[in-house]
Structure 1
Amino acid sequence: MLANPTAGRGRHRGLLPELLDGLAAAGRPVRLLRAGSAAEAEATCRTAVAEGAAALVAVGGDGTVHRAMQAVAGTTVPFGPVPAGTGNDFAMETGFPADPRAAVDVIATALREGRSRPVDLARMAGLDGTLRWYGAVLAAGFDAIVNERANRMRWPRGPRRYDLAILVELARLRPRRYTLTLDEERIEVDAVLVAVGNGASYGGGMRICPAADPTDGLLDVVVGGRFDRRTLIRVKPRIYAGTHVAHPLVSTYRARTVTIAAADITTYADGERSLPLPLTITAVPAALHLLR
């Protein structure tokens, strides 16, 4: 089990002993993986899987799940996400209970019964050959640009830093030229929002790709075109319900393989800083086996 004690601002930190006991009820020995950073967490998970772990469980938000997922993607080692973060989009989209105790009960039952359910993942390939996986959504537009600015800022701390980054980037808002290749179809478009979803939501329930299904072998692509500041501010709240896709400036596509090219954008996948554009994303059916 990989657990992030700071996930969700630490509100579930005291639950960890109970969650470990709940997982041990499956009748298997449980080892808690220690890590001092996100990179160390990912490396520790990879080592555990290489050494023969029978299953991997991640307790935390989408970032923790994303790191652990890299170790089991494309393998037969089953995986259990326990939602305990600020954003738990992958766990929610794949049917796990919102309560961490209930999620551990589901995972322990699946372990006892030797049962798992396959779901798709999205595999990213960077220009330099780097490969990464994600389960929910990759952001390659305004949201990614805001995250990148917020991560560069040293003041203020906490959520206010992200709010300030939004204000700065809204002031600088301009459509960028993207080249998208959707299977065999090539599209050039000026846009401010580009998202590629294996799942429907990101950012703690924002349904940016509302029709995405992590079991259909396809990626959903949502492109928000030449929005000005006022229109973007009006449309953005509609993302929570997924109704933004009805706006005339929003286009949706579906493909097995998507290549995205644009200048000076670093993408964010499952909310984590990921690969720079250009990159190619491929839907990989049954790439992950969930303990459900």
Structure 2
Amino acid sequence: VVRGELERHNLRFDAHEARGPGDAQTTARAAIRAGYSVIAVVGGDGTLSEVAAGFFEDDNGERSMSADFPTPINSQAALAVLPGGTGNDFARALQHERASLSPWVARLLAHLRGEADSPARAIDVLHGRQAAGEQPARRRSFICLNAATLGIGAEVAGRVAAQANTVRRLPGETRFALAALAALLSWRSRRMRITVDDKSFECGTNLVAVVNSAYAGGGMMFSPEAKVDDGLLDVVTACDLSRAAILREITRIHRGGHLANPRVSVRRGVRVLIENLISADALPVEADGDVRGHTPVEFRVMPGALRVVM
């Protein structure tokens, strides 16, 4: 569909099919270095996140992902979203409606033709980095567009990914519910220290979500008021909940109802540090569907760091 529309409008393009983990990022980075100004992505949120990382220098660049912030290769290059995944949360957050491919193709065509009503908009990016456990230059660093989760949220994401090939025919929300139930049966909370900017607190952690956009994880609304262009991260914590309470809140998270629980809170800031108080209690970190390491982990917002075709 996309190729046909580009050809019909006599627009020049090159196409590449990602063939494995990291391929989309490598291809996007090479294309931007070669002078391409628009990178259009047909895929889901994981692919978008991977391509977004390709807009910045890698560890072999003059400044690396292990610097304070990744360095953009070309700050004027733009990402074009063509939703083709299961959740399409990022596209939904940008337009505040369920994403379908056709209107996004129309936006891309209008942008490539230089129409004034289809600009590229600067949005924030979440930058995460393992905060300890390795030499500074070797700590894992990553880019995230929607949200990073720790605790049961990361457990659920890992199980959903593991089940992708065995339960592919089931609806996304059904797969999520099955994964949530399995994760809940084996879950135990861990005590964490969470610092948002300069304010710290401890929490018997069931869930932490560091949120850049209103939707993540297939329609979950960790923080319905989150905005991709406000220069802030929303930090959602669920502390000291029983298993029954966790199950109840998980079922309400797709509409934001979990925020009515007084043990669930939202804080906002530009820097977030999450530390396990006991080494054995390190939590896995999930970002846009992929496991990205473990605690301790630091997140920072990169305001207006990525241009997206709107």
Which category of TM-score, normalised to the shorter sequence, fits these structures?
0.7 to 0.9
Taking a change above 3 Å as real, the CA distance of residues 108 and 146 of structure 1, as seen in their structure-2 partners, is: same
Q: Which residue among 33, 37, 53 is the counterpart of 1:70?
A: 53
C-alpha distance in structure 2 between counterparts of 1:183 and 1:121, whole Å: 17
Structure 1 residue runs without a partner (length 5+):
1-17
**Conserved 8 A contact 1:27-1:112:** no
Per the TM alignment, residue 151 of structure 1 is displaced from its structure 2 partner at its CA by: 5.2
Q: Give CA deviations for 1:162-198 in whole Å, capped at 9, x if unaligned.
A: 6654333212222211111111112111120110101
Query: Which residue does 1:12 correspond to in 2?
Result: none
- Indicate the larger mover: 91-100 or 243-252: 91-100
Q: Which residue of 1 aligns with 2:40?
A: 57
Give the conservation status (yes or no) of the 8 Å contact 2:158–2:290. Answer: no
Query: After the TM superposition, which residues 81-96 of structure 1 pair with which residues of structure 2 at under 5 Å, given as runs?
Result: 81-95=81-95
d(CA) in 1 for partners of 2:80 and 2:21? 18
Which residue of 2 is the match for residue 183 of structure 1? 197
Amino acid at match of 2:142: R
TM-score normalized with structure 1 length: 0.86
- Separation in structure 2 between the aligned mates of residue 272 and residue 109 of structure 1, nearest angstrom: 32
Change (3 A) 1:150 1:290: closer
Match of 1:47 among 16, 19, 30: 30
The aligned counterpart of 2:300 is 282
Following superposition, the deviation at residue 38 of structure 1 comes to 2.2
2:145 is matched with 135
Change (3 A) 1:53 1:247: same
Q: Deviations over 1:13-45 (max 9, x none)?
A: xxxxx2123245665411111321122222122
Q: Which amino acid aligns with 1:85?
A: G
Report the alpha carbon displacement of residue 275 of structure 1 after superposing the two structures with TM.
3.0
Secondary structure of the structure 1 residue equivalent to 2:90 = helix
- Residues 242-281 of structure 1 correspond to what in structure 2 (within 5 A)? 242-262=256-276, 263-281=281-299
CA contact (8 A) 1:196 1:209 kept: no
Q: Which residue of 2 aligns with 1:7?
A: none
Picking from 227, 236, 244, the partner of 2:241 is: 227
- 1:222 and 1:105 mapped to 2: Cα distance? 35
How far did residue 89 of structure 1 move?
Answer: 0.5
Matched, 1:21 2:39: no
Which residue number in structure 2 is paired with residue 203 of structure 1? Answer: 217
Match of 1:212 in 2: 226
Structure 1 residues 26 and 180, CA gap change in structure 2 (3 angstroms): farther
Residue 102 (structure 2) pairs with residue 119 (structure 1): no
Give unmatched runs, 5+ long, in structure 2: 57-71, 132-137
Distance in 2 (alpha carbons) for counterparts of 1:149 and 1:251: 25
Q: 1:69 is matched by which residue type in structure 2?
A: A
Match of 1:215, SS state, is coil
In structure 1, what is the Cα distance between the partners aligned to 2:224 and 2:96?
A: 18
> Cα RMSD between the aligned structures?
2.4
- Partner of 1:35, secondary structure, is coil
| 1:254 Cα deviation after fit | 0.4
Read off the aligned partner of 1:134 and give its amino acid letter.
Answer: C
User: Contact conserved, 2:37 with 2:76, CA < 8 A, in 1?
Assistant: no
Asked if the contact 1:34–1:44 (Cα under 8 Å) also holds between the matched residues in 2, the reply is: no
| Partner of residue 9, structure 1 | none
Structure 1 residue 152: Cα displacement: 6.0
Partner SS, residue 192 of structure 1:
strand
Query: CA separation in 2, counterparts of 1:154 and 1:80?
Result: 26
Pick aligned residue for 1:35 from 11, 18, 21: 18
1:167 paired with 2:193, answer: no
Task: Report the secondary structure of 1:188's partner residue.
Answer: strand
Question: Is the CA contact 1:136–1:270 (under 8 Å) kept in the aligned structure 2?
Answer: yes
Change (3 A) 1:47 1:190: same
How far 1:243 moved relative to its partner? 2.1
Checking the alignment, whether the CA contact within 8 Å between 1:137 and 1:199 is kept in structure 2 is: yes
